[in-house]
Amino acid sequence: MQVHRENRAGVIVLLILAAVTAVEFFLLAYSTNARQMEVWLGAGILALAVAGVWLSSRVQKNEKNDARMLLDVTPAAAFLVDQKKLVFIDCNAAAEKLLGCPRAEIATQPVGAFFDALGANSKKFLESMRSGVEEPAEKAVTLVDAKQTPVEVQASTREISIAGRSGLLLVITNSSEIEKAQEALHYHSTFDEMTGLVNRRTGLLLLEKEMARSLRDGTPLVVAFVDLDGLRLVNEEHGSAEGDWMITRAAEILGESVRLGDEAIRLGGDEFLLVLHNCSEEGAQILLRRIEEQMQQVTESDEKPFPLAASMGLAIYDKNRHGQVHQLIAEADRRMYLKKQTKKNLTLV
């Protein structure tokens, strides 16, 4: 454990007093005056006693400061608990929010007052606190807040020293907040934050499953590689905000165009992929023409000085040529590139 500056200073003081006392005993050894011996000895003992009390108070104060700091840096609801009396000593702002009452009202309250008295898990957890058993692993318990509303939480304890007394650090996390965090994590790991479409990682996994499904059921599978036209130029001439508009509007059109069960995926940047299950090449071509028409309508309705357009290439899954996901995507990418080159050549003409 790191020693505080105050504690080091106290140790230095004690060492100085010990040296002074040693000198006193040296003088006593050569003193012939009994009264003088008693005075010197008494003064030395008193000085050591005062220094000991002072150092003890400094240590206790530092432990309190450490405990307070521990509460402040803990993001979850945290409480300091008197292990012997099983009452709250202090808590942080997150704990006040969780229980719905100020710190002053929580302090000195028995811990059991905020636990569900009928819950088996809560009873077991309180019993472990009374017996002084640490619960480092989170346990599911039920709290009761100031409004007597049950709150499902995860609780854990650690044994600490508070001002010379044995205490517990009780850390509580709201289960609903954990679920929200897990849902948010799942969303961000599945969907593209900018467009709301399925992201590349999840999209490739879905395509792999669709390829296996097509192989198993014998149903046709078509993918379309979509690449926006002129995004870099729009960013350079009109700013990144307009470039973002191109990406998000195109994503809206793609997401709304595919059928239920199909998938629109953002691969990254200005590249998208459509996975069309049980779809013929002719049906896919009709879909792409409809997407082009919708992009043209958006360009006119939003009165942009640049067109919203994309080059798109189709590839039909063939088990003999597309053993891997990237092989199917690469074929669609090549066909998209040919379409883009054709557009550029027509523009030059």
Are 133 and 148 contained in the same domain?
A: yes
Write the single-letter amino acid at 241.
A
With respect to residue 250, please indicate whether it lies within any of the assigned structural domains: yes
Q: Which of 113, 146, 174 is the last residue of a domain?
A: 174
Q: Which of 142, 174, 206 is the last residue of a domain?
A: 174
User: What integer pLDDT is reported at residue 82 of this predicted model?
Assistant: 86
CATH number, domain of 102, equals 3.30.450.20
Number of domains in the chain: 3
The enclosing H or E element of 160 equals strand 150-162
With respect to residue 155, please indicate whether it lies within any of the assigned structural domains: yes
User: What integer pLDDT is reported at residue 204 of this predicted model?
Assistant: 94
What pTM was computed for the model?
Answer: 0.57
CA dihedral sign, ordered 233, 246, 308, 198: positive
d(CA 70, CA 3): 16
User: What integer pLDDT is reported at residue 59 of this predicted model?
Assistant: 44
Domain range enclosing 54: 5-71
Non-local CB neighbours of 18 within 8 Å, separated by 6+ positions? 48
Within 163-302, strands assigned E span 165-174, 221-228, 263-268, 271-277
Q: If pLDDT is split at 50, 70 and 90, which confidence band does 212 have?
A: very high
Residues 110/79, Cβ–Cβ less than 8 Å = no
Non-local CB neighbours of 10 within 8 Å, separated by 6+ positions? 51, 54, 55, 58, 59
Average pLDDT in the 159-188 region?
73
d(CA 256, CA 196): 12
User: What integer pLDDT is reported at residue 69 of this predicted model?
Assistant: 79
Are 150 and 217 contained in the same domain?
A: no
d(CA 116, CA 79): 17
With respect to residue 199, please indicate whether it lies within any of the assigned structural domains: yes
User: What integer pLDDT is reported at residue 188 of this predicted model?
Assistant: 75
CATH number, domain of 308, equals 3.30.70.270
Are 24 and 148 contained in the same domain?
A: no
Residues 274/264, Cβ–Cβ less than 8 Å = yes
Are 99 and 63 contained in the same domain?
A: no
Query: Does the pLDDT at position 193 exceed 80?
Result: yes
Counting Cβ atoms within 10 Å, is residue 155 exposed (0-12), middle (13-18) or buried (19+)?
buried
Are 57 and 118 contained in the same domain?
A: no
Average pLDDT in the 102-110 region?
89
pLDDT > 70: what percent of the chain? Answer: 74
Are 216 and 271 contained in the same domain?
A: yes
User: What integer pLDDT is reported at residue 46 of this predicted model?
Assistant: 52
With respect to residue 34, please indicate whether it lies within any of the assigned structural domains: yes
Are 308 and 253 contained in the same domain?
A: yes
Q: If pLDDT is split at 50, 70 and 90, which confidence band does 55 have?
A: very low
User: Which tens digit of pLDDT belongs to each residue from 278-321?
Assistant: 999 999 999 999 999 999 999 999 989 999 999 999 999 999 99
d(CA 219, CA 225): 20
Write the single-letter amino acid at 110.
P
Average pLDDT in the 62-66 region?
57
User: Which tens digit of pLDDT belongs to each residue from 220-266?
Assistant: 999 999 999 999 999 999 999 999 999 999 999 999 999 998 999 99
Query: Which is higher by pLDDT, 153 or 347?
Result: 153
Are 103 and 246 contained in the same domain?
A: no
With respect to residue 303, please indicate whether it lies within any of the assigned structural domains: yes
With respect to residue 121, please indicate whether it lies within any of the assigned structural domains: yes
Q: Tell me the Cα Rg of the chain.
A: 36
Per the prediction, the chain carries an average pLDDT of 81
d(CA 47, CA 144): 52
From the list 234, 226, 220, 342, the residue with the least C-alpha distance to 287 is: 226
Q: Which of 174, 200, 220 is the last residue of a domain?
A: 174
